[in-house]
Amino acid sequence: MEIIDKTSIPKETHPGTVNIGGWGIKCAVLENKKRIITQGGLFDAFGRPRKGEKRIDGLPSIIGANNLSEFVSDELREQVQPIKYVTKRGRVSEGYDAEVIASICYLYIDADDKGKLKTNQHHILEKAKILIRALAVTGINALIDEATGYQKFRDDNELEKIFEKYLGKELSKLQKLFPEEFYEEAFRLYGFEYTGKTQRPMQIGNFTKKYVYDSLPLGVVEKLKDVKLKHESNRSSNMWRYLSEDFGVQALKTQLDRVTTTMQLSDDLAMFKKNYQRAFAKEIAARAEQEKIKEYKDTLLPIE
């Protein structure tokens, strides 16, 4: 039996269960501020047994099939390396980097796009799609902080690090993110004639902020505005150009697709609002809870 020196590995400080896509996934924050998913939590997330067929050494069975090997990046290989930690009860356990959830989701989605998935892997793909949509709203770190209560203890600079994942260090080179069909549908709901011109009514701008930008984690939009003001004075330019292409832009794209689909299913603005409330019920509830937490924390600040 391997003897492990408990003093050499981090301790669990905030255990919890995060609800993503309707599944309860066990997670924790360690004393080194590392967010992890437990081993059991990883397999529960995708509806897979912890022990299963594995063909590639060093990889868990969920991504160990030979037909998935070409989609396993070096980053993912690192993320699936077990992280030892000491639980609240003093036991040595293992987990994974929390962001492995998103990486595995993208692996299955990419494999499906290339036609490489097998029939018995399609149920994992469906869960991956649900999970990635849920994660796009706030990010796995923010969800774990909320589930464990850690958001009451984290430092402001930790939030800055989370924001950095959404904000690009340099101006994005992408020229266009919002598709024409998004604006065509938005104009239709408001009863405006769409001509394709750059200048848009104020209502469209307010609509875009409320239903697209405000889906980003709490505080990211404010941070975007600050970054934008530091770089330019043009108020009409797009804030999304300051989002990180690998994380922030992808989160916004996911929200754009969902909102556009909801608009297409709506006859008018009133119907859209009802459909949006139904389609985004969980996200709206989570956002309201975040607002309550922020309001509570603000009351603890000294009066200037």
With a cut of 90, say whether residue 241 has pLDDT above it.
no
Type of residue numbered 75: E
User: What is the percent of the chain where pLDDT is above 70?
Assistant: 68
Beta bridge partners of 259: none
- DSSP assignment letter at 192: P
What's the pLDDT at 175?
39
* Residue in this structure with the two tokens 């239709």, named with its chain if needed: 188
Residue 71: C-alpha distances to residues 67, 68, 131, 133, 156 (Å): 9, 6, 18, 20, 36
Please state, in angstroms and rounded to a whole number, the distance separating the CA atoms of residues 288 and 291: 5
pTM of the model: 0.48
What's the pLDDT at 297?
45
Give residues with Cβ within 8 angstroms of 191, minimum separation 6: none
pLDDT tens digits for range 193-229: 887 765 788 899 899 888 988 887 766 777 766 665 5
Exposed, middle or buried: residue 277 (CB in 10 Å: 0-12, 13-18, 19+)?
exposed
Q: Per the structure block, which two tokens stand in for 304?
A: 């200037």
With a cut of 80, say whether residue 4 has pLDDT above it.
no
With a cut of 50, say whether residue 5 has pLDDT above it.
yes
Give the mean pLDDT of 37-47: 86
pLDDT tens digits for range 132-178: 877 765 566 666 776 787 766 665 555 555 555 554 444 333 335 77
Please state, in angstroms and rounded to a whole number, the distance separating the CA atoms of residues 269 and 188: 9
Give the mean pLDDT of 6-26: 82
- DSSP assignment letter at 198: S
What's the pLDDT at 51?
58
Residue 180: C-alpha distances to residues 58, 183, 260 (Å): 45, 5, 10
With a cut of 70, say whether residue 76 has pLDDT above it.
yes
With a cut of 80, say whether residue 59 has pLDDT above it.
yes
Please state, in angstroms and rounded to a whole number, the distance separating the CA atoms of residues 235 and 230: 12
